[in-house]
Amino acid sequence: MALVSLIGGPLVAQTKVVLLGTGFPRPDPNAWGPATAVVVGDRTFLVDAGVGVERRMAAAHLPINGPTAVFITHLHSDHTLGLADLILTSWVMQRPKPLQMFGPSGLQPMVDHLLAAYAVDLKVRTEGLEHETLDKSRVVVHEVTAGGGILYDSAGVKVTAFRVDHGPLEAYGYRFDTPGRVVVISGDTRPSEALVKASAGADVLVHEVYSGSHLKVEDRPGGADWPTYMKSLHTSDVELGQLAERIHPRLLVLTHIIRMGATDEEMLAAVRQGFKGEVVMGSDLGEY
């Protein structure tokens, strides 16, 4: 493990948060698919796998041959479109062992179908001149049960899943207790009491957000129901400020940013109506 600081005697591994992708379903070349890395020493924990996740990992100088573990918040496509990329590219880049992946019910069949879809690729790479090892292409899926709980606990890092409210989808947020920091990642959710409880003592809260002042009916499927959808399944900037003021993280990082024409300054001002602590508008490849 990379040991970088001395606090009261024992060496402590540094913990940092890297936003690999801060986008949502609408394609934006400046905001790739949702994905966040929590890096503790030489271990990388990945939350969600949006479009371009492996290339974002490379851009952030993080391992392209597989993270220590993967945690999926929910099965919406924008959070999972990069799964095939993550599974297969990290394998081709010589992942040393099967990939450990945690997430909601339905994750196992999703992974099974992806591997089945790439059966030709797997066959050629293992039986041809590349001599890949088929066992290392495997993904060990752990579907979260009983609404959450501790999923990973090793060498000073504990990862706990907790249910959040994202409408009909089974969705989770994740809390990382590390030797140096407590990091909480909301996933997609409306304001959640479970998140408030799970975030007690958080140093960093990474939370989704949309602009409440720019919310309007859109010319798209759903049309007049779009504002209702957003209010029912997501968290506005004003709501997030109120939520963060109850949690009091040392740092609030905004991600999965749905602007709808709002400026960063407008959204940050809306958050600050309720939250008096430090808040930043997250950006792709930003480190916190």
In a domain, 1, yes or no: no
For the segment 172-179, the average pLDDT, to the nearest whole number, is 98
The confidence score (pLDDT) of residue 8 equals: 44
Strand pairing partners for 204? 183, 251
pLDDT band at 219 (very low <50, low <70, confident <90, very high): low
The active-site residue, picked from 48, 78, 177, 284, is: 78
| Domain membership flag for residue 141 | yes
Number of domains in the chain: 1
pTM over 0.85: yes
245 within domain boundaries:
yes
**What's the CATH number where 16 sits?**
3.60.15.10
Specify the pLDDT at position 220: 65
Q: pLDDT per residue over 60-111, tens digit each? A: 999 999 999 999 999 999 999 999 999 999 999 999 999 999 999 999 999 9
The reply to whether 78 belongs to the active site is yes
Domain assignment present for 134: yes
Give residue-wise pLDDT tens across range 1-55: 333 333 344 566 899 999 999 999 999 999 999 999 999 999 999 999 999 999 9
By residue range, what is the domain housing residue 227?
7-281
Residue 281 has pLDDT above 90, yes or no: yes
pLDDT of residue 218: 72
- pLDDT computed for residue 10 by the predictor: 53
